[in-house]
Structure 1
Amino acid sequence: MSNILRNLPSVSQLLESPQLKKMVENINHGVVAEGVRTFLDDLRTQVVDAAGEVPIPTPTEMADRIADWLSNEERPYLRRVINGTGIVLHTGLGRAPLAAEALAAVNENSKSYASVEINLMTGERGQRVKAVERLICELTGAEAAVVTNNNAAATMLTLSAMAAGKEVIVSRGQLIEIGGSYRLPDVMECSGAKLKEVGTTNKTHLADYENAIDPELTGALLKVHPSNFEVIGFTKTISTKELSKLAAKHDLPLIDDIGSGALLDYAQFGLRNEPVASESIRDGADLILFSGDKLIGGPQCGIIAGKKKYVDRILKNPLMRAMRVGKMTLSALHATLSLYRDQEKAKQSIPLLRMLSMPAENLKLRAEKLASLLSAVPCVGSCEAIQEEAMLGGGSLPAQKIPTWCVSITPAGSVDALSAKLRSGTPAVMGRVQQGKLLLDTRTISPAEDLELVKVFETLEA
């Protein structure tokens, strides 16, 4: 054993190998040297702990293994992915891509300094929300607005500012849980507000809210859109308009958490029952809460819009600073919202809306062309274009499907092995496995990515 350990190459010897010399140039001498030491230490431990003889790789084999290991270790966790899953707002893949205008705005305001909290007209300190407030108010009809880092933050901040230490009345059927174990009752407890449930899971009446109101204890009424589930059949819910009249009667704020948020009617894409922000304001909500990165197609953020007197209270809340956004989010959001001033332009420029607007016939032609090109790739056994259904995703409209066309691939080998190879490619590719085949959905693949997708397949071994 001592001879084996004595004959192992030194760190400096391995660093002289061509493979690791190249890695030193691409990464860093210290990082590669530490990787070599770790590899040799592990190998020594294996030799000492082994009951029998341990096969020792040659110095060249060691260098190859170390180079492969370091290459994988140094790859960024966050990498670009071609989304062939058919889930338009795929939470695991960062939801919707940003518009070119949003990317340009982020680049412009991030490569140098930016007027985040300086009023360039007066030279005095200003509020960062001013960067987007005017546009939010213009598009929703609200008096004022503020932006947080996501809609969960918007909910907690609003409840803390409006009803800390008081009761918030909400229908039992709207006590939602969404991804990542986000539960509304837990958020409410963290905000300092006290939950008061009314009604039943499937039916809540206006009288349930009215009977629960206590002049001394009630802080607000809360309405929550159940974005990620549906209750059908024998049901009853109260409209925003009805609740707003009740809230006004008792001088209470009505908070309407519309969840995914929308600035235009999604019925034009064949999707129904998603609340539009401007309609909620028009129906009398005092504050509306919604996401900026779901149905709006902008950066991840939460938007609070409504009456100025309530937004001012939120701005003064101590949690506001902890939940505010930076210049990159504000830049991307402003550019995205600007596109909504012309809805036709928005549908052409915002990737989310462009995907939803794409005619099925166009998707069919692309799927057929991709199937033809991929059929010639060695790792593909057979390939065909098939009609399928996509989903909006992101916790929005879970029961509604979107017509689409997919490339259905029967691999030359294992479908799981092919999926794993595609995930580790550059760029990574993700599809969905269905009945032993790999489906790549053209609705969520940009037309500009079609030939790039083929090139990724061509780099794979059969």
Structure 2
Amino acid sequence: VAKVLPRMSSYSTLEYDLSTGKRGTRDSKVRKLLRSLSGAEDAMVVNNNAAAVFLMLKALTTSLKEDKIPEVIVSRGELVEIGGSFRIPDIMREAGVKLVEVGTTNRCRISDYEQALTENTAALLKVHPSNYEIQGFTESVSVRKMAELAHTKGLFCFHDWGSGSFYRFKQRGLSEYATAEQELAAGPDLLAFSGDKLLGGIQAGVLLGKADNIQKLRKHALYRALRLDKVTLGLLEETLEAYLDLKRLPEQVPTVGLLELTVEEIRKTVKLFLKRLKLPNKSALKCELRKTESRTGGGALPELPIESAALVLSHPEWSANDLQEWFRSQPVPIIVRVHEEQIWLDFRTILPHDSDELMSVITRLI
């Protein structure tokens, strides 16, 4: 933010090409960065991932006759609803396409997609189940197989990835999460994902894919309503530039840095915090270091546990809910977790520059 603010408070070359002295495109730098980081032929950004999915469905499924409604095939197990009541079926309806459900909630095969093809089929859509998991007797179809089927029939294959990154995490569990380059290698015509979440940037919707498909999206009338403003573009540029130096990335992008912390590093931070707190021997407030598990959160891998360490607080005169409300009511609100009638502060989520404020708040309880 500090790097972007000077640009935001002065004249901007947002749509001015300095090399030619003529009108340029506002996202030229972001497009160049996205192409370099992903290996995609072309790229574009809109104001969030829901907008990205809506635009690709609206703009690329209009080749049928006027009296025909384009059909898009989706697995029943991928008809997601995420925060804010964003539902895939609603987005598809508003985009003017007919949803064709295949498979069952827990199992879907490539033959299900094949049997659902009609003369009105426009695309196959893969949706990442970003905020839930289906476990047990399950089966799903890879993007690669879906793309192969779509392309043999002259159809599009779209992938709503939800949350993406250009960085291969070292953290156990997260290390299995693919990069954007790997996802594109599976062959989807367009890949859509968020500019925040795992990427760690500003809210935006990233679209990567074939140049001719991206150009069709850019020329669609809806793009002007969904494009990013200069502040958001500036912040996204800074985040993407950080990905050019993967060795320093955890230092530059807090989301990546926090996710990559080892449990040993976190335990050391909690111990240092307790030492600085200097809790009196007769204090009613009890503070202790306990092991815990972090979650990446919805939009990525909601059920993936990451080993962490927490500061656990309790007070004989305060219930856990009372303490929770008290922390939340501070000038700088602190959001805690209640577990076993105690307050838990997962130190993976504590930014270094917030440590002093947290110390000040807890001190007021002593």
Fold-level similarity (TM above 0.5): yes
The letter for the 2-side match of 1:343 is: L
CA distance in 1 between counterparts of 2:14 and 2:112 reads: 45
What is the identity percentage for the equivalent residue pairs of Structure 1 and Structure 2?
Answer: 39
The letter for the 1-side match of 2:49 is: N
Aligned counterparts, 1:43-442, within 5 A:
103-164=1-62, 165-215=69-119, 217-266=120-169, 268-271=171-174, 274-372=177-275, 373=277, 375-376=279-280, 381-414=285-318, 415-442=320-347
The letter for the 2-side match of 1:135 is: L
State the number of aligned residues: 358
| 8 Å contact from structure 2 (residues 163, 198) kept in 1 | yes
CA distance in 1 between counterparts of 2:103 and 2:70 reads: 19
Match of residue 351 from structure 2: 446
Match of residue 87 from structure 1: none
The letter for the 2-side match of 1:145 is: A
- Deviation of the 1:196 alpha carbon: 1.0
| 8 Å contact from structure 2 (residues 308, 346) kept in 1 | yes
Larger radius of gyration between Structure 1 and Structure 2: 1
CA distance in 2 between counterparts of 1:375 and 1:214 reads: 71
Match of residue 9 from structure 1: none
- Deviation of the 1:339 alpha carbon: 1.4
CA distance in 1 between counterparts of 2:229 and 2:361 reads: 35
| 8 Å contact from structure 1 (residues 379, 411) kept in 2 | no
Structure 1 residue matching 2:303: 3-state secondary structure = strand
CA distance in 2 between counterparts of 1:185 and 1:128 reads: 32
Structure 2 residue matching 1:255: 3-state secondary structure = strand
Give unpaired runs (5+ residues) of structure 1: 1-102
- Deviation of the 1:377 alpha carbon: 11
CA distance in 1 between counterparts of 2:36 and 2:23 reads: 24
CA distance in 2 between counterparts of 1:379 and 1:412 reads: 10
Structure 2 CA distance for partners of 1:267 and 1:220, relative to 1, 3 Å: farther
The letter for the 2-side match of 1:390 is: S
| 8 Å contact from structure 1 (residues 374, 383) kept in 2 | no
| 8 Å contact from structure 1 (residues 297, 352) kept in 2 | yes
Q: Which has the higher relative contact order, 1 or 2, with Cα contacts under 8 A spaced 6 or more apart?
A: 1
Match of residue 41 from structure 1: none
- Deviation of the 1:440 alpha carbon: 1.1
- Deviation of the 1:310 alpha carbon: 0.8
TM-score by length of 1: 0.74
- Deviation of the 1:435 alpha carbon: 1.4
Structure 2 residue matching 1:393: 3-state secondary structure = coil
The letter for the 1-side match of 2:191 is: I
- Deviation of the 1:268 alpha carbon: 3.9
| 8 Å contact from structure 2 (residues 103, 109) kept in 1 | yes
* Structure number with higher helix proportion: 1
The letter for the 2-side match of 1:405 is: A
Larger mean Cα displacement after TM superposition, 274-283 or 296-305:
274-283
| 8 Å contact from structure 1 (residues 116, 131) kept in 2 | no
| 8 Å contact from structure 1 (residues 422, 430) kept in 2 | yes
- Deviation of the 1:335 alpha carbon: 1.1
Structure 2 residue matching 1:264: 3-state secondary structure = coil
- Deviation of the 1:253 alpha carbon: 1.5
Structure 2 residue matching 1:428: 3-state secondary structure = coil
- Deviation of the 1:137 alpha carbon: 1.0
- Deviation of the 1:394 alpha carbon: 3.1
| 8 Å contact from structure 1 (residues 368, 384) kept in 2 | no
CA distance in 2 between counterparts of 1:143 and 1:295 reads: 23
| 8 Å contact from structure 1 (residues 404, 443) kept in 2 | yes
The letter for the 2-side match of 1:382 is: K
- Deviation of the 1:289 alpha carbon: 0.2
Match of residue 76 from structure 1: none
TM-score by length of 2: 0.92
| Cα shift readout 1:95-149 (whole Å, capped 9, x = no counterpart) | xxxxxxxx13321321112121111211222222213001111111111111111
Q: Which runs of 4+ in 1 moved over 6 A?
A: none
Structure 2 CA distance for partners of 1:394 and 1:233, relative to 1, 3 Å: closer
- Deviation of the 1:158 alpha carbon: 1.0
RMSD of the alignment, in Å? 2.0
